[in-house]
Amino acid sequence: MRISVVDVGSNTVRLVVADAAGGVPLPVHTAKWRLRLSEQVTPGGPIPEQAVGQLVDAVAQASKTAAKWGAAGPLAFATAVVRNAPNRHEVLHTVRARTGVDLCTLPGEVEAELTFLGARRWMGWRSGPLALFDVGGGTLEVAFGRGRLPDFVASLPLGARRLTHEFFEDGDPPSPERVRALRRKVRHQLRDVAARVRWEGPRTAVATSRTFQQLGRLCGAAPGRHGPFVDRQMRRSDLRAAITQLAALPAAERAHLPGISAPRAAQSLAGAVVGHTALKLTGIKAVTVCPWAIREGVLLRHIEDGPSWWAEVVRRSEEAAPADPVPLRIASSATS
């Protein structure tokens, strides 16, 4: 069986086509289309018509590419940049009408569940009680669990793009006062969630997302060309030093640092502040940078639980109000 997933993020539309033999999604083809939706959408604002047209074209190309590689219609989802837009339903309807792809949005808590599943399968059972941190453009997802799926999840409005827009819009590089103000906000928002993770006492902690991958490289982890099976650790102390380094440079110069790409250079500082604050509040000194995340989680749920769960996700996405904060928890058992 060959399946595919399309992930519409704040900067890129990504396609993964995978073989599902043996219950493991083994990639056979990947592709991406850079849209940089985050540059065209202000936090809380609608997605403009031009950006919707670009999104339609990218999803259509992704669907055609998946078909060429022998995969059925892709499991397609959009993250916070579309989920939080007031014209979300119009965007989803337009994509479906013009491409035939059932693009849906996932509540942040479901994103955390699926990302946790991907990380759990990658790390294996020997990792024990597992804490997960995933910082995207609009939100930070945190999860903890002892089994296949998490016992506890949280989605917080602490995305790197969102915070960059809120705190660093007027200065490049930002002033030390603005960096401290950002840290205070992150600390306040994370306080209760961090206390829960600290109380649970995870044996292993992982960080996923492109932002953490780039920060891990900046902190000394092996580059991507060394392959996914290289152990990549990111220490809290190194992340603190990276904040000092990033804060001293304008965004254009950050793009010359190891691992930091030009499209994410502006938001790299906010991502580093969020990551370091999360680790400090939870008492975690180092994380493993995990290559599997939400896309692999979607593929795994499809393989392990069949197509009916995704049909339910799509149905709930159609019914939810544009600003609905109520989490959708996909039916699951923490012990399964």
**CA 136/CA 170 separation, integer angstroms:** 22
Mean confidence (pLDDT) of the chain: 90
Cβ neighbours, 10 Å, residue 114? 27
Phi, psi of 203 (to 5 degrees): -85, -35
**CA 146/CA 200 separation, integer angstroms:** 10
Mean pLDDT value across residues 53-72: 95
* Residue 332 pLDDT class (50, 70, 90 cuts): very low
**CA 264/CA 268 separation, integer angstroms:** 6
Please say whether the beta carbons of 305 and 116 come within 8 A. Answer: no
pTM of this prediction?
0.90
In one letter, which amino acid is 203? Answer: R
- What percentage of the chain has pLDDT greater than the value 90? 77
**CA 334/CA 336 separation, integer angstroms:** 6
Of 42-46, 167-171, 272-276, highest mean pLDDT: 272-276
Mean pLDDT value across residues 70-92: 91
**CA 77/CA 91 separation, integer angstroms:** 12
Mean pLDDT value across residues 6-33: 92
Give yes or no for residue 334 having a pLDDT over 80.
no
H or E stretch at 66: helix 49-68
* Residue 324 pLDDT class (50, 70, 90 cuts): very low
Which residues partner with 6 through β-bridges?
Answer: 15, 76
Q: Residues 151-195: pLDDT tens digits?
A: 999 999 999 999 999 999 888 999 999 999 999 999 999 999 999
Q: What is the pLDDT of residue 259?
A: 95
CB-based burial label for 58 (10 Å; 0-12, 13-18, 19+): buried
Q: What is the pLDDT of residue 33?
A: 95
Q: What is the pLDDT of residue 320?
A: 64
Q: Residues 200-246: pLDDT tens digits?
A: 999 999 999 999 999 999 999 999 899 989 999 999 999 999 999 99
Give yes or no for residue 326 having a pLDDT over 60.
no
**CA 291/CA 210 separation, integer angstroms:** 9
- Per DSSP, 155 falls in state E
* Size (the chain), residues: 336
Of the two residues 282 and 38, the one the predictor is more confident about is 282
Q: What is the pLDDT of residue 316?
A: 76
* Residue 327 pLDDT class (50, 70, 90 cuts): very low
Please say whether the beta carbons of 313 and 106 come within 8 A. Answer: yes
H or E stretch at 104: strand 104-105
* Residue 268 pLDDT class (50, 70, 90 cuts): very high
